[in-house]
Amino acid sequence: MALRKDVRVDAAPAVAFRHATLADREDLLGRIMLTPALVYVIVLVGLPFALAILLSFSAASAGSLALSWVGVENFATIIRDSQFQRAVLNTVFFTVTSQILVTVMAVAAANVLDAAFAGKRAMRFLILLPWAAPVSLASMAWTWIFDSTFSVINWTLKVFGLLEGWLYWFGDPALAMIAIISVHVWRTFPFATVIVLAGMAAIPQDINEAALIDGASFWRKLFQVNLPLLLPIVTVSVLFGVVFTSTDLSIVWLLTRGGPYNSTHVLSSLAFQRGIMGADLGQGAAIALFLLPVLVIVATVMLRMARRAEVGV
C-alpha cells in the first residue's frame, strides 16, 4: 500500500436528511412491503376458504346470490350418497397407491441419476418433461394413447402375445382407475425424483465413503445409511405428493369425467360435478371440505419439520 502523503481527501458534502426518515425505518418498511401480499392472501385465499365452509352449510346455487342456511343438511345428504362414498374410497386408493409407486420410482430414479454415466444430463432433462408439460395437454395425449379403438398399448400387448381379448380402458372401472393412476404417476414421479435427488446431494460424501471403507454391502448401505438419511427429504416429497394427488382434479376429469358410471370419481371431481356442473355450490363445497383433514395433517407435519430445521441450525 504505497501511501502518498501529498494527497488529501476533501470533506464530502453533508448528508441531506440527518434524521431517520420512512426510508430508514425498517420496521415500518417491512410492514408496508409485506402488506399487499398479506392482503391478497387473506382476501383471496382466507376469505374464500371461509366462504367454502359457509357454503357447505347453505343451499347456495350458482344462479342466485342468496345463501340460505341449511345446517348440516349438505353433509347428511352426501354421507348417505353412494357416489360420495365411492369417491372417498377412490381418493384414498388413488392417493395411497400412486404415492407408493411414485416414491419407489423416485428413489430408484434418483439413485440412477446420482450415478455417473454417459447421457445423464439428457436423461434428467427427458425425465422431467412429464412434470413440466401442462397437465391438461399431457392428459389429452394419454386419452389418445388409451383410445378404445386405436390404443397403441393394446396393439403392443397383442403383438407380444400378452393380451388375449381387448382392453377398453375407459369402459371398465378397474382399468379406468389403473389408467388414472398410471398417468398421475407418470406426471408426478419426475417431481419427486428431483426432490429426492436434491436431498441426496445434501448427504455428505464422506458418509458414503465411510460406509464403503467399512465394507458395507450395497443393500446394507441402502437400508442403514442412505435411506435413513433420505427419510426427511422423502417425507417432504410425500407430503407434497399427498396434497397434489388427493386434491387433483385435472387428470380424472380429463381422462374419464368420473366415468364409467361415476365409478372413478374422486372427491375433487365429484365436487366439481355437483358444484359447478350441477350448480349446487353448497353440496360441492361440503364434498371438497372432506379434503381439509388431509391438508391440516400435511401442514402440521410440515410446520413441525420446519421448526425442527430451525432449531437444528
Partner 1 sequence: MGYVETRNLHKHFGEVEAVNGVNLSVEEGELVVLLGPSGCGKTTLMRMIAGLEKPTSGEIYIAGERVDEDVPPRARGVAMVFQSYALYPHKMAGDNIAFPLEAVGMARLAIREAVARAAGMFGITHLLRRFPLQLSGGERQRVALARAVVRSPKVFLFDEPLSNLDAKLRATARFELKQFQREIGTTTIYVTHDQVEAMGLGDRIAVMNKGQVHQIGTPQDVYDDPADTFVATFIGSPPMNLIEHDAGTLVGFRPENFLPRQIFGAQDDVVTYRFRVRRVEYLGSDRFLYGVLEERQRSDQTVIADLPVTITTPIAEGEAYEFAVPCRAQRQFDARTGKTGKRKTDGAA
Partner 2 sequence: MRGRRLVRAVKRVGLYTAASLFTIFAVFPFYWMFLTSFKQNRDLYVGATNLRHIPWIFNEPPTLEHVQLLFAGTPYLIWLKNTAFIGALVVLITLVIAAPAGYSLARLTGRWGERLGIGIFLTYLVPPTLLFLPFSRVINVLGLPNTPWALVLVYPTFTIPFCTWLMMGFFRSIPRDIEEQAMIDGYSRLAVIGKVVLPLAVSGLLTVTIFAFTLVMQEFVYALTFISSVDKMTVSLGVPVALVRGDVFYWGSLMAACLITSVPIAVVYNLFIDRFIAGLTSGAVKG
Task: Return the residues of window 8-47 that contact partner 1 according to CB under 8 A.
Answer: 9-20, 24
Residue 1 or 313 having the CB closest to partner 1: 1
The reply on whether position 295 binds partner 2 by CB under 8 A is yes
Q: Pick from 200, 16, 38, 209: which is nearest to 113 by CA? A: 200
Using the 8-state DSSP alphabet, how is residue 144 labeled? H
H/E segment holding residue 209: helix 205-213
- Residue 85's binding partner among partner 1, partner 2, none (Cβ under 5 to 8 angstroms by kind) is none
- Residue 2's binding partner among partner 1, partner 2, none (Cβ under 5 to 8 angstroms by kind) is partner 1
CA atoms of 294 and 157, how far apart (whole Å): 38
* Least gap, CB of 304 to partner 1 (angstroms): 22
H/E segment holding residue 111: helix 82-114
Mapping DSSP to helix (H, G, I), strand (E, B) and coil, where does residue 75 land?
helix
Contact between residue 196 and residue 230 where contact means Cβ atoms under 8 Å apart:
yes
- The angle at the Cα of 14, spanning 11 to 19, to the nearest 5 degrees, equals 145
- Residue 229's binding partner among partner 1, partner 2, none (Cβ under 5 to 8 angstroms by kind) is none
Using the 8-state DSSP alphabet, how is residue 277 labeled? I
- Residue 160's binding partner among partner 1, partner 2, none (Cβ under 5 to 8 angstroms by kind) is none
Residue 181 or 195 having the CB closest to partner 2: 195
* Least gap, CB of 186 to partner 2 (angstroms): 7
Mapping DSSP to helix (H, G, I), strand (E, B) and coil, where does residue 172 land?
coil
Exactly one of 7, 23, 66, 213 binds partner 2 (CB under 8 A); that residue is 23
Mapping DSSP to helix (H, G, I), strand (E, B) and coil, where does residue 280 land?
strand
Annotate each residue in 59-88 with x if it binds partner 2 (CB under 8 A) or - if it does not, as one string. -x-x--x-----------------------
CB-based contacts of 191: which residues, under 8 Å, 6+ apart?
131, 237, 240, 241
Residue 10 or 206 having the CB closest to partner 1: 10
- Residue 7's binding partner among partner 1, partner 2, none (Cβ under 5 to 8 angstroms by kind) is partner 1
Residue 5 or 253 having the CB closest to partner 2: 253
Query: In the complex, which residues of this chain contact partner 1 (CB under 8 A)?
Result: 1-5, 7, 9-20, 24
